[in-house]
Structure 1
């Protein structure tokens, strides 16, 4: 038998992956006993699977003195190699003549196993389509080892250790850039070098291409190439040199897709958000969630989509650009617009559902229309906001840029929530963030409220809307005050009151006095808190908003009780209770009842307190907040 040595040459400037290389080499060379060692490396096109596999194979070749067999299976191409043809090549490499090679695939597999029995041979199978292409090529001897690369996850390959290959770390990308393009050139423009490799998405193939382009053009600076890649419209066109092109690499994964998977790959890339849920994918594709999940999971298995977590997906930046280019070529404009409209409708339904939970009084008063997502309770609604805040913002901004929707007609409750008589499309994003921020604040989601309201304020300021900005300042002051950031809260109150007084906005004045009260509470100044709360109520009454004047009531009760004045707390609560009930706002109603229970306890009226707490428990239970848990403790059922 001949001793084959078929490995292609190693890459002289191989960079990074040190830990992975060591792990793979150890797995291939440590005997597992009587079982064959099989290692499968999978990853998206351009991640360097072949390069890594060759480097590992050369590193361990001394452990396989009887030879190394190699085959490029062309799994990502239009015509993958048939196992029987690969087997014939292997048998010839081992010294068999044409007459000695059997005709059938099963017979050839058996002959290969016989030929390798007792020998230490490494087999490298590069670019496999799936485990069906690889299984007939497996030797039977535990003395051998097999290293497989594939774009697909070969989870059904028996006994294989699976290793996913991802992107470069930034340091690895910069190291490769310097080794190929020149250390001095990269060191001379470090900031531009970082921008360059980040425009490559840290994809190894893309980094190698830009490095090679710089090496071939001594007069081109890193800054110039980084500037060219900064333009997304021409980025993929820039990422090619000679026969190497990122776009061609991606095409090898896309072209074998069937029609449904190809459509999903293209349309899901249209959204601007950083990721998407199964529900959002179903909306884009106009299919059921089960079908959407199957499509997404298949694309993940093919390394065309990334799994970010349970039922959440995202594209690599360059893959997204490639898919969008395909969508522009393959999908009519009306189909692309319809897909994005369905995505926006999905997020608007989520906004309505969140408001139904956290702003029930507003939903009732506004009488808004349109479908809603249903959330079991406040924690579920909060989780949705945390997961989708950035995606909601991106979808609203994207729809606003396209000009295909009159966004201000989509969520009528926003005018009620923000106090703006009219919300044009420029302010729709700020209004959405404002509404979600107020909802988070009301269910004590302080961190989410700060994030959402800060974003709403940024939109209001960018669009020069003093009314929206004044309201955002006040609500943000409330959130910051509750979180203990008293100085920041007071600064927002100062700005918010200035804006509100300049335009005569009584609602803005009212909400900023609420923010001042939150800061005073946190600093322990109850007299200042009471003064601010009374000013807030007065501003709302002067503005013709008597129901909103009651918003301060539960905080006012807290202040009176803190000062040892429970009689006044009870008076405030009993006056506010029917107003809260008339708002159809169970959250505020529950809060007043819980505080009435505390005030009646202070006054030595346990039976009255018990009645209030029992009513409050029924209302506050679904919100899972500290107030509800305190009520249950008072009732002895916590």
Structure 2
């Protein structure tokens, strides 16, 4: 029968079905699924009730490292161990559903293995968990600091932490919170050696009765009831492997005219590589059987799904990879779930409710190597490169549209976004912000993918720049700082690999600013020196000036005012040479403040007066106020409080002339402090009261 044909040799499925198959595929969709195959969960959780009961009992059992009658200090760790595809994640999710009432603070999920099969890394996992918890850690924080932040955020809560596809104990142990009311459920292939008192649950294949139940759930009960012996034979051919049974059952569900015997015959007809281990053969056969029946576009999307950033596929990603329309890709992904090829991401909101671009799916870990093998077998490297570039280009357009949604109505960015195709537009700012928040991990992974590929021309820098602007627009500088740090590091790697000194200087300056804000002053100093070297190599005056000023700021923070004044002086020379008088005036004031901290009061006052003259020539009363305030700081540092009071009163008059209410209020408070020190508390109270009135008067 035609629907039992399996591709063999080195032909793709569409080629193996004959010269007219590709044309027929373009006119047809995936086989439609009946009601049985549409269910996501198994009634009664077939074949794992004993394991589920044992896991629940282990939650409350006394630990080996606890004293009698006393609870342990750390969370209970349950391990569900088994080969990929053995139903370990399904068992974990069933456990979470049954224990949901015991953990009112909810469930945190993290997948610890990336799309390429390598560990994601503790820093990435911890940062994702902190984002889900609604908290942050300083940008550029190390693994230990991030893990500590996760444990601190979970302390005092009743939360379940599900760590899926854990590579080993070293990726789990730092995240286990010191919170006995929390529960950690780990899904892994092997033991977690090194973590004390782990309660393991090892999964093997399903017994025959449970395997037949899984098969019947997806294929429908009628044909199983009619031929139970053959159904048992199919279960045996699948080795009791849940993933293989799901694929086989879904394949049969799509073919209502075939029998269970036809399914068994089709499975046995699938060629198996002679060197394939016996334990891997059932899943190989079921996957290849399903794949061989896919239409051309669907088959290509499945092959390229392993390229999806963060291992997550949505309609936009699938459309870009497969080179098809977004609605067609969405239909393919929906049908893939019925076929057992994709799993919906838990907790995805309804796209109709929030205006989002649709749900996301993940290729099961057991199918990733099989899909990657198809990619290497049927796709030329140039075609893979093109698909990746097409996907990243669409991501750039989506991110730019997301950024435009934060602009006011009628702005040029909003008008340009309105001209984009409908699938690339966001209906509201809230929908764009939601998309950016939920796709954060995938977008950062897409940026890393672009940065790692040296053949994508400027696509990497365009994506990083667009994502930086979108994060700033929707999240603000403070909330976006951790992700911006990651993006600037990627840009730095690209700039160093391609010998781009301007981009290197910009990345180092931005990283230095974030390091300085996080208190890593020494690291910031090294960043700024590197930026200065790169900027000077291409005679970039803007980056050079910024690096010189940043070095002055950093030495000031390190308590070295003499070096701080020296670097400010170099920046001043550059500003004067370029005729940047406003920046020069600002630097005069900074140099004066630095000399004042060093005890060079005459030089300090000279620089402050130079700043005041420059601001006066520019007609900038707010600048004159800041220059007078700098002079007051010098007088105060020298111990001349009366002169400091006079300078601040002068500054106050300039602030009023400039109508700068925030500067005026700050000066009123500083004047009150000096009056207190001069022994005039009544006058100090008057100035504090004036400072309190300023915001209300400005609002009126």
Report the TM-score range of the alignment, normalised by the length of the smaller protein: 0.3 to 0.5
TM-score of the two chains, using structure 1 as the length reference = 0.45
TM-score of the two chains, using structure 2 as the length reference = 0.41
